């Protein structure tokens, strides 16, 4: 290759890494450069590329997978571009919520191997995600008499007073009250969570905070339980470097399929959390169980302000330990 083109390629590569904000670690950058040079020399590059894809997938570094693909795309000819596609790349686009790119990659993968079971499994997940993201008005919603206002409220219903806290919402959601709950500091901390689950953690924490302030204790207990499950699963995965684990002598399960009891038991078995935090999680789990009507009726009890406070403290202290 002429020297001028070599210099241009080197310059564009350096500019691209700078624009990515040095997201790629040194080892990943070294491997990517090696793959790039093999591509430019016309040598086989698929094996080292797919190996890199798989390692990044195992580490759930989906953003890096996409960055590697986009960089190599700058140097690939028409034939080489087709070889850049891999199920790990499809999973990366899906994890980052880039559905359009994911479908484009899936189309290329199925063109190469229509019977590929891994690609079809990922596509089913993509379809399921699309099915769960229904627009506000759908044919399914139209089956309800409430959908278009067909079911009119009675005059008595119109006079039903609103809960007092609803009327005072602007005052309840004041900066002072949010500060007392540690909302602003925790929101900044959640920004350091892994990218794949960052939005879900923030949204769940917002719902938890709103439920606590409005006195919606069952909703607060449910949101606290959901957030604790996500935090513990992420902590186990990061600490033990595994996606599957055996709990109570059962066959290994995906950590994101475990319930709060099993996740806490796993953290206790491997000493991943302090005893104090584990006690808070246990108390929060007890409060969360009151959302089941059977338990509430049998015990003639339910979530209390003090119990929900424990749920919130469990979330705050757990996130301090794991993030």
Domains present along the chain, CATH in parentheses = 3-128 (1.25.40), 165-322 (no CATH)
Identify the sign of the CA torsion 243, 245, 247, 251.
positive
- Give the model's pLDDT for residue 206: 94
Q: φ and ψ at 192, to 5 degrees? A: -95, 0
3-state DSSP call for residue 246? coil
Q: Which two tokens stand for residue 10?
A: 């080197």
Instruction: Residue 142: count other Cβ atoms within 10 Å of its Cβ.
Output: 11
3-state DSSP call for residue 159? coil
- Give the model's pLDDT for residue 296: 65
Q: φ and ψ at 85, to 5 degrees? A: -80, 140
Which has the closest alpha carbon to 209: 193, 191, 186?
A: 186
Contact at 8 Å (CB) between 221 and 311? yes
Q: Which two tokens stand for residue 203?
A: 């949204």
Q: Which two tokens stand for residue 107?
A: 């189309």
- Give the model's pLDDT for residue 186: 94
- Give the model's pLDDT for residue 271: 95
Per-residue tens of pLDDT for the chain, all 323 residues? 444 444 444 445 554 444 443 445 678 888 988 999 998 988 999 999 999 998 888 888 888 898 889 889 888 888 888 889 888 888 888 888 787 888 888 888 888 777 677 777 776 766 655 555 555 545 555 556 666 555 565 555 556 777 888 888 889 999 999 999 889 999 999 998 888 788 889 999 999 999 999 999 999 999 999 999 999 999 999 999 988 888 877 888 889 889 999 999 999 999 999 999 999 999 999 888 888 777 667 766 677 889 899 999 999 999 999 98
The strand pairing partners of 245, in sequence order, are: 253
Residue 218, judged by CB atoms within 10 A of its CB (0-12, 13-18, 19+), counts as: middle
- pTM for the structure as a whole: 0.58
């Amino acid at each position: 290759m002429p020297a001028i083109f070599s210099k241009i390629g080197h310059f564009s590569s350096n500019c691209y890494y700078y624009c990515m904000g040095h997201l790629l670690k040194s080892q990943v950058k070294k491997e990517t450069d090696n793959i790039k040079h093999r591509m430019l020399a016309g040598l086989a590059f698929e094996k080292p590329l797919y190996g890199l894809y798989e390692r990044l997938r195992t580490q759930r570094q989906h953003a890096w997978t996409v960055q590697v693909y986009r960089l190599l795309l700058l140097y690939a000819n028409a034939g080489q571009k087709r070889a850049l596609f891999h199920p790990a790349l499809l999973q990366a686009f899906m994890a980052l919520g880039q559905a359009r790119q994911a479908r484009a990659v899936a189309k290329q993968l199925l063109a190469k191997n229509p019977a590929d079971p891994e690609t079809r499994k990922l596509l089913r997940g993509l379809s399921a995600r699309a099915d769960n993201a229904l627009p506000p008005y759908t044919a399914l919603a139209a089956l309800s008499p409430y959908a278009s206002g067909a079911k009119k409220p009675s005059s008595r219903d119109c006079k039903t007073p609103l809960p007092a806290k609803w009327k005072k919402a602007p005052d309840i959601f004041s900066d002072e009250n949010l500060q007392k709950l540690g909302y602003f500091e925790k929101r900044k901390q959640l920004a350091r969570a892994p990218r794949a689950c960052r939005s879900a953690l923030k949204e769940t924490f917002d719902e938890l905070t709103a439920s606590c302030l409005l006195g919606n204790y069952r909703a607060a207990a449910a949101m606290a339980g959901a957030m604790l499950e996500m935090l513990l699963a992420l902590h186990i995965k990061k600490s033990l470097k595994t996606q599957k684990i055996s709990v109570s002598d059962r066959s290994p399960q995906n950590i994101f399929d475990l319930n709060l009891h099993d996740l806490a038991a796993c953290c206790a078995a491997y000493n991943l959390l302090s005893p104090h935090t584990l006690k808070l999680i246990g108390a929060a789990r007890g409060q969360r169980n009151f959302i089941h009507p059977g338990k509430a009726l049998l015990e003639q009890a339910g979530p209390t302000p003090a119990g929900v406070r424990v749920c919130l403290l469990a979330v705050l202290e757990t996130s301090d330990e794991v993030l």
